[in-house]
Each structure stands twice: as structure tokens, then as C-alpha cells.
Amino acid sequence: MARAIHRLSKREIKQADARGLLNDGGGLNLQIAEGGSKAWIFRYVRGGEERRMGLGSLITVTLDEARDLALTQRKLLQARIDPLDSRRAQAAELTQERRKLEASTKTFAECAEAYIAANEAKWRNPKHRAQWRASLATYASPVFGSIPVADIGTPLVLEALQKIWSTKTETASRVRGRIEHVLGWATLHGYRSGDNPAKWNKHLEQALPNPAKIIAVEHHPAMPYEELPAFLPRLREQEGIAAIALEFLILCAARTGEVIGARWSEIDHDERIWTVPGQRMKAGIEHRVPLPAQALDVLKRAASMRLRGNQHVFPGGREGSGLSNMAMLALLRRMGQTDITTHGFRATFKTWASERTNYPNRIVETALAHQLEDKAEKAYTRTDLLAKRRRLMNDWAKYCYSPVTSQADNVINLRKEIAG
């Protein structure tokens, strides 16, 4: 009498090469395909129709293992459970678990980038797209960019906004709205649940003053330009990349975000130009910075501290990252300069240019990457005044390193140069 199950021997399985099915009994079959590949399948009838379920290749599933798998399927059938339906249910459960795990680790920065990618096509203005990324990277990400979006609550949102709510009210209000949009997107896609901690009505309006009622605007505390030549030698005595970055920031009259994000690929040593991409500029427009010899010297010192694999000119503590946005301010505090900020050095430059030189305001404002307020003038402007700004930045660098004892009469007459 033929055996109901376990009909095949290992020798038969090994020697078989004809295309077709070898029945081991109990629904287990070895399927031999054209070309000789062999795989286990479980055949059964459900609802009057034959169904086939793959159990794996002979290369990875032995005869004994295949028989165990077939036994499991027969027990499911005995319990009136369809084996294929059971497998699909298990796969769906695993997928759900993976999604839950992904949701628990999806960071705000990842959600922000996904939201922007999904919506930037409808933002026709490139400047608007750049401002979205720049504002969130500058004000939200330092506080909770790396935190799972599911864990972000009102305290973290307030921590990001309160720093700028009174001093940069319009910017802060826009950042709040953008955070709300990103968190709303995350909720829609199942990465978080509950109320939106960044919503204004009946929520943050209870904790923050109405933007329309904030009148006073505080300017960034700045160092008087007369004190700068005495400050720079002290700065050069400081160790670490933050001191080098701050010196570069001063010489270029640049913003913190522009400097800490600088890459070596942006530096053209031959032309002596640093090109800051639009996404890192406040106005979202690419900005060229003419580099005086002193700034190139700073870059040489930065190059000596370059880390392998890190493209940042001023690398941070984490692998592949740039300097922290608080590193230079912390340096100033260690130097005892508690009354100024890094951004204030732009005001120092502006005041020096206004009081000690004859450069037109338009050249100075362009050097600071400020946009023209006059829309008509802006529409007809086709140059970034690079050559004239180069002379301005060269004179600024000379002043920065001028002898401390000769500042009182250090007035630069540049009428002839500007006219040229």
C-alpha cells in the first residue's frame, strides 16, 4: 500500500530532473521547473478550488523542514483557517508593526523635508521654497529637528518660538505657521496623533503675545567698531574652530547660518569668491562674497583642521556636520563678551562703513545681502556690484587688523575709487 505522507526519499529528490511535481503526500509537493530549479509547494483545496502555497526553494528548505511546514498548514486547515489567508494576515501585521516603528522614529526634520517635497510644486516663487527650508532649519531644527515627531509637544514648540517672538516677530509668526503645517502633515500620515501643539487659536495665543501688539523691536547687541581692532588679536588667541569661524564671519560681514553651513565647494580660491547658495540666505537668493586676503588666510587655517569626509569649512562635533549655531556665541561668552552677539558684527560693519568711509549705502547694503526696498530700483538692478564690494571688503579687512593706537583718525577717503 502506498504511503499517505513522506513518500519521497532524499535520493529521489536529488536525482529528479524532469519538469513537473513530485508528490510527498499530505499536500506537500516538490516542483521542478524547466532548467532544473526545485521548490516546495503546498497544495490544498478551499471552496472547491485548488490553491498553491510556496514553502521555499530546496536550496534553503530541506525535506524535513518542508514536511514540518506542510504539517503546520494541515493543522490550519483542520482549524478551518486558510493557510494563504493566514500568511497574508501575518504579513499585514508585520507591515503594521514596521509602520508603527517608523512612526515612532520619524523626526521633525524628516517630516519637514517630506512636507516641502510634497508641496513645493505649488509654490511658484523659488524664494518662498528656500525660506521654508531656511526658517525651519534655523529656528525649529536646533530645538527639535532630530526628535521623533510623535514626541513633540507644546513645550518644545514654545522653546523654539519664544527665542525670537519679541525680536523677530514676523519671522517667528511664519515659523509657527510652518511648524503647524508640518505637524499637521505628520498627523495625517500617521506619524503622530492628538492636537497640533503649534496651532494658534485657543492654544499658543494663551502663551504668546499677539504679534500685532508687539511694538518694541530689539536690535542685536553689537561691538562698537572702534573696539574691533583690539578684539581681533584676542580672538586669534582662542583655540578651536569656533574662533576661526567667528573671524571669517566678521571679515565677510556674514550671518551665522551662512558661515556654519559653508562648504569647501562654495569657495573659489582663484577668483577669491565665496558663493552662498540661496537656500542658506535669508532672502533665498544666491550671494557672492568677495574674499580679502585676510579671509583667505582664515580659510587656510580652517583647512588645516579639515576632517576627512566632512565638506563643511567649519566642521562640528558630529560626523559630517557643521559647527553648531551656538558655538560662536558661546565663544564670545567665554571671552567675557556678554554684551554682544555674533549677528551684531554686521551692525559693526554697517556703522563703520557709514561713519568711516564714503561708500554709497547701496554697496554696503548689497555687501550685507540686504534686498532693495525700492521695487522699481530692484526691478532694474542687474548687477551685484561685486567689483565695488571687493574694494569695500578689502578696506574693511585692513581696518579690522589696523594698529589699535591709530583708530581715532582712521577715516578712509574712497571717493576716487568709488567713482572709478
Q: State the CATH number of the domain containing residue 65.
A: 3.30.160.390
> Residue 367: inside a domain, yes or no?
yes
> Residue 408: inside a domain, yes or no?
no
The predicted pLDDT at position 125 comes to: 67
- What's the rounded mean pLDDT across residues 267-288? 92
> Residue 220: inside a domain, yes or no?
no
Residue after which a domain boundary falls, among 186, 214, 242: 214
CA 346 to chain centre: 26
CB of 149 within 8 A of CB of 183?
Answer: yes
The predicted pLDDT at position 321 comes to: 85
- What's the rounded mean pLDDT across residues 197-210? 93
- Tens of pLDDT along 364-410? 999 999 976 554 445 445 578 999 999 999 999 999 999 976 444 44
For every residue of 222-234, DSSP letters joined together read ---GGGHHHHHHH
The predicted pLDDT at position 69 comes to: 95
For every residue of 239-306, DSSP letters joined together read -SHHHHHHHHHHHHT--HHHHHT-BGGGEETTTTEEEE-GGGSTTSS-EEEEPPHHHHHHHHHHHTTP
The predicted pLDDT at position 372 comes to: 65
**Residue 107 predicted with pLDDT over 70:** yes
For residues 161 and 255, state if they share a domain: no
**Which CATH number is 375's domain given?**
1.10.443.10
**Residue 219 predicted with pLDDT over 60:** no
For residues 309 and 243, state if they share a domain: yes
Q: Which residues, in sequence order, are bridge partners of residue 268? A: 273
> Residue 338: inside a domain, yes or no?
yes
| Confidence band of 351 (pLDDT split at 50, 70, 90) | very high
The predicted pLDDT at position 28 comes to: 95
For residues 262 and 385, state if they share a domain: yes
Report the alpha-carbon distance of residue 177 to residue 199 in Å, rounded.
Answer: 8
Report the alpha-carbon distance of residue 190 to residue 267 in Å, rounded.
Answer: 42
**Residue 319 predicted with pLDDT over 90:** no
For residues 91 and 156, state if they share a domain: no
Give the highest mean pLDDT range of 14-18, 55-59, 375-379.
55-59
The predicted pLDDT at position 2 comes to: 58
Report the alpha-carbon distance of residue 30 to residue 7 in Å, rounded.
Answer: 11
| Percentage of the chain modeled with pLDDT above 70 | 90
- What's the rounded mean pLDDT across residues 33-44? 93
Give the highest mean pLDDT range of 95-104, 298-307, 407-416.
298-307
**Listed range (76-80, 190-194, 330-334) with the worst mean pLDDT:** 190-194
CB of 147 within 8 A of CB of 156?
Answer: yes
**Residue 415 predicted with pLDDT over 70:** no
Report the alpha-carbon distance of residue 127 to residue 36 in Å, rounded.
Answer: 61
Q: Report helix angle 83-105 to 63-78, nearest 10.
A: 100
The length of the chain in residues reads 420
For residues 239 and 353, state if they share a domain: yes
**Residue 416 predicted with pLDDT over 80:** no
For residues 299 and 339, state if they share a domain: yes
For residues 20 and 95, state if they share a domain: yes
Phi-psi region of 48 (alpha: psi -120 to 50; beta: other; left: phi over 0): left
| Percentage of the chain modeled with pLDDT above 90 | 68
**Residue 84 predicted with pLDDT over 90:** yes
**Which CATH number is 174's domain given?**
1.10.150.130
**Residue 173 predicted with pLDDT over 60:** yes
The predicted pLDDT at position 419 comes to: 42
> Residue 413: inside a domain, yes or no?
no
The predicted pLDDT at position 365 comes to: 94
36, 121, 129, 287, 340 from 279: Cα distances, Å: 58, 16, 8, 10, 27
Query: Which DSSP category does 57 fall into?
Result: E
Phi-psi region of 148 (alpha: psi -120 to 50; beta: other; left: phi over 0): beta
> Residue 146: inside a domain, yes or no?
yes
**Residue 62 predicted with pLDDT over 50:** yes
CB of 225 within 8 A of CB of 351?
Answer: yes
> Which triple of cell numbers denotes residue 138?
534655523
Give the count of domains, the chain. 3
Residue after which a domain boundary falls, among 102, 126, 144: 102
Report the amino acid identity of residue 166: S
> Which triple of cell numbers denotes residue 291?
574674499
> Which pTM value belongs to this model?
0.49
- Tens of pLDDT along 124-133? 667 777 889 9
For residues 146 and 165, state if they share a domain: yes
> Residue 377: inside a domain, yes or no?
yes
**Listed range (179-183, 332-336, 368-372, 396-400) with the worst mean pLDDT:** 368-372
**Listed range (9-18, 122-131, 218-227) with the worst mean pLDDT:** 122-131
Phi-psi region of 253 (alpha: psi -120 to 50; beta: other; left: phi over 0): left
For residues 315 and 357, state if they share a domain: yes
For residues 206 and 253, state if they share a domain: no
Of residues 49 and 382, more confidently modeled:
49
Residue after which a domain boundary falls, among 43, 73, 102: 102
For residues 204 and 327, state if they share a domain: no
For residues 62 and 161, state if they share a domain: no
Domain that holds residue 317: 225-401
> Residue 57: inside a domain, yes or no?
yes
Mean pLDDT, the chain, whole residue set: 88
